[in-house]
Amino acid sequence: MKVAGRPTRTIWPVSDGSGDVEILDQTRIPHEVVTVRLRTLDDAARAIADMQVRGAPLIGVAAAYGVCLGLREDASDEGLERAYDRLLAARPTAVNLAWALKEMIATVRNRPRAERLPVAYARAAELAEADVATCEAIGEHGARLIAGHAARKAGRVDVLTHCNAGWLAAVDWGTALAPVYKAHRAGVDLHVWVDETRPRNQGASLTAFELGQEGVPHTIIADNTGGHLMQHGQVDFCIVGSDRTTRTGDVCNKIGTYLKALAARDNGVPFYAALPSSTVDWSLTDGVAQIPIEERSPEEVTRMTGRTASGEVVSIDIGAPGSPAANYAFDVTPARLVSGIITERGVCTADEAALAALFPEHRPANSISR
């Protein structure tokens, strides 16, 4: 997608032969667009933990390149294990991280040390390209849903999204926003309600930035606004991303997603999750009970960062001094509240049979095939 009219991705290997990797620093957007060079395993793990790169698909690809940087320092089995453990611990909820690390280990482990590094870089690049293709396919499938809705409504389609599940959360295109971009480029008249997404404001800062750069009409709203808009017929449907989805269709996503799904159900608004199959944790059946929810620093709740009128980017305290805060980063929307899941292979209902029909290679070995 574009920044200042130029096609841009979120992560890429530097083309100077150094083996370093560059990222867009997402902690600086929308106030500045700057890149950061990752040189070491520690750089990669820190970039993920501090959310310079974030969003489930991007975390996976960043971890894959992190393995490359780790192997540059130590290509032994111990070095590989150290990279795996360090990167896996960076963020606990998005399963794409573990998925990408397993892909990298499987590629590298049985190779002689001398071969490991080039093979690792090649595999990381493949994962990045596959992510782009997967997100684009999600976009095509989701855009058909949006276009169908536009045709039935014969007017502007209002989409509500939460957090940032756009191209900044992936390598390119994004998940929840890929259908929006595809539909917009196809000429569908649409508008996006952008939940600000406290406490880190990924909606107000990242989603709004992306949509603005692509010229997609949008409006930032406070997180608590969606229910009101839905009651007044101002939301045609919701599309969110996911950090981990169970094989039964429970969707874990940014904190606050569940409340939007409840409001959507109460108002008959379709609620879709758009996700690559690498986000499905095929071992899980109960999202609320089984998905680990990341708890981040309370300071993210009590402090806010923004730009002053003079252009300086500053952080300020907004909480009562001394009051404790809690910062749960994700919640789980049970499958019963999800109207459909938009994947790279098509759209299905949020249940085990439908997901298994789209991805039969993940069907549990002992289940009866249909």
Instruction: List the x/- string, 80-99, binding to ligand MRU by CB under 6 A.
Output: --------------x-----
Size of the site for ligand MRU (CB under 6 A): 18
Alpha-carbon gap, residue 319 to 303, rounded angstroms = 7
Cα angle 227, 152, 258; round to 5: 25
54 binds ligand MRU (CB under 6 A): yes
> 10 Å Cβ neighbour count for 305?
15
Give me the residues paired with residue 38 across strands: 21
Closest CB to ligand MRU belongs to which residue?
241
The values of phi and psi at residue 282, to 5°, are -70, -10
To ligand MRU, the closest distance from the beta carbon of 130 in angstroms equals 15
- As measured in angstroms, the least distance from the Cβ of 141 to ligand MRU is 15
Minimum distance from residue 296 beta carbon to ligand MRU (Å): 8
Please confirm, yes or no, whether 74 is among the known catalytic residues: no
Selecting among 131, 223, 243, 250, the annotated active-site residue is 243
Q: Rounded to the nearest whole angstrom, what is the least distance from the CB of residue 120 to ligand MRU in the complex? A: 24
Site string for ligand MRU, 170-199 (x = CB under 6 A): x---xx------------------------
* Per CB under 6 A, 202 contacts ligand MRU: yes
Distances, alpha carbon 31 to alpha carbons 3, 25, 226, 236, in Å? 13, 11, 26, 31
Which residue's CB is nearer to ligand MRU, number 107 or number 164? Answer: 164
Rank residues 165 and 342 by Cβ distance to ligand MRU and give the closer one.
165
Residue type, 94: A
* Binding-residue pattern over the window 218 to 257 for ligand MRU, x denoting contact by CB under 6 A: -----------------------xxx---------xx---
Which position has the token pair 């397993």? 102
Q: Give yes or no for residue 280 binding ligand MRU (CB under 6 A).
A: no
**Which chain residues interact with ligand MRU by CB under 6 A?**
54-57, 94, 163, 165, 169-170, 174-175, 202, 241-243, 253-254, 329
Q: Cite the active site residues.
A: 243
